[in-house]
């Protein structure tokens, strides 16, 4: 296969497969783009060819496996990030398999590369007193402080993803009876999330102060444009550090925007909200994703344990009576 054909396949994958057929979100397109930029740089370095000169035959399963290993060994990527890169490559080679049957066997071998099992981390979240301290940290005497306080208040009540939060526009907010915010989540699924009275009051004052057009960003940057993900991460980190003076327990946690999303889910769960409702609230594709919040709060487990009766029996420990059994137990 010629280099031009390979380039056409890659371009067709993005323009036809991702954008036209799948209507992938900008975040997905950006993630896949970065994956192929890394792969083509690695392939060019290893084979001594410019990316535009590479053919599909140059990218074999062993090269892909070595590339994934390099992501972990040299770039410090986690298994989860490595799996995301592999998912992008799989999507491309499924596209190639459909359009170039002659390369079906090569594609099948790459599609057979397994994902690596990722270690499940303990979910970190903020408790109510910590959330209150964080929301109170911005200075309401300044424009940025009022913006940040309103943003944080909406953030911890709605549990939006960062991309969903920064995409909110003035007309995404409906105040009055049944007040809520509308957003387009993963898979272009639109959902509405209700607001409490404190968020309604703060948003009402903020919107009145801005007097912006309906399609203007709800939380603009200092230059008036849409805030970036990095800007939101810096904002959260800055106010988390300031909140430590009134709530020292915050210093023990690594607070990120995603931790605020977890905090929303855990607060709902602790109030007895059903997991299916929390899944709808957060925009999860499946309730199985929401199951992780069942394991996060040790307090809930302790309360469940308190309701059980102790088992009567003599304390003891199993001791194998056979050397081979002892060996197997020691593994």
- Which residues form the catalytic set? 161, 186, 258, 261, 284, 293
Question: What is the rounded end-to-end Cα distance, in angstroms, of the chain?
Answer: 51
Q: How many CA atoms lie within 13 A of 61 on its CB side?
A: 12
From 256, 269, 264, select the one nearest 282 (Cα to Cα). Answer: 264
Assigned token pair, 270: 């602790």
C-alpha 91/C-alpha 29 separation (Å) is 12
Say if residues 132 and 50 touch (Cβ distance below 8 Å): no
| Maximum alpha-carbon separation in the chain | 80
Please give the distance of CA 15 from its chain centroid, rounded to a whole number: 25
Q: How many CA atoms lie within 13 A of 30 on its CB side?
A: 4
Q: Sort 226 into a burial class: Cβ within 10 Å, 0-12 / 13-18 / 19+.
A: middle
Assigned token pair, 24: 């992938």
C-alpha 233/C-alpha 37 separation (Å) is 25
């Amino acid at each position: 296969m010629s280099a031009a054909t390979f380039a056409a396949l890659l371009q067709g994958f993005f323009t036809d497969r991702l954008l036209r057929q799948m209507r992938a979100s900008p975040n997905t397109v950006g993630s896949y783009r970065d994956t192929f930029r890394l792969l083509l740089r690695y392939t060019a370095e290893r084979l001594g060819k410019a990316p535009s000169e590479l053919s599909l035959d140059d990218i074999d399963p062993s090269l892909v496996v070595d590339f994934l290993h390099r992501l972990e060994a040299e770039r410090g990527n986690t298994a989860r990030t490595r799996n995301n890169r592999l998912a992008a490559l799989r999507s491309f080679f499924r596209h190639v398999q459909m359009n170039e049957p002659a390369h079906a066997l090569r594609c099948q071998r790459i599609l057979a590369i397994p994902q690596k099992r990722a270690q499940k981390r303990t979910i970190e979240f903020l408790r109510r007193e910590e959330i209150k301290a964080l929301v109170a940290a911005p200075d309401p005497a300044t424009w940025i402080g009022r913006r940040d306080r309103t943003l944080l208040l909406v953030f911890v009540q709605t549990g939006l993803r960062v991309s969903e939060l920064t995409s909110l526009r003035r007309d995404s907010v409906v105040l009055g009876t049944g007040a809520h915010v509308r957003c387009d989540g993963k898979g272009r699924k639109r959902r509405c999330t209700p607001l409490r009275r404190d968020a309604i009051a703060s948003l009402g004052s903020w919107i009145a102060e801005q007097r912006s057009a309906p399609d203007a960003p709800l939380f603009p940057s200092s230059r008036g444009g849409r805030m970036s993900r990095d800007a939101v991460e810096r904002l959260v980190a800055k106010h988390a550090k300031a909140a430590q003076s009134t709530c020292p327990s915050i210093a023990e946690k690594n607070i990120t925007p995603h931790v605020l999303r977890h905090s929303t889910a855990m607060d709902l769960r602790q109030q007895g909200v059903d997991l299916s409702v929390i899944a709808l609230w957060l925009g999860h594709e499946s309730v199985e994703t929401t199951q992780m919040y069942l394991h996060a709060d040790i307090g809930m487990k302790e309360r469940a344990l308190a309701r059980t009766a102790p088992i009567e029996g003599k304390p003891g420990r199993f001791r194998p009576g056979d050397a081979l059994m002892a060996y197997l137990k020691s593994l």
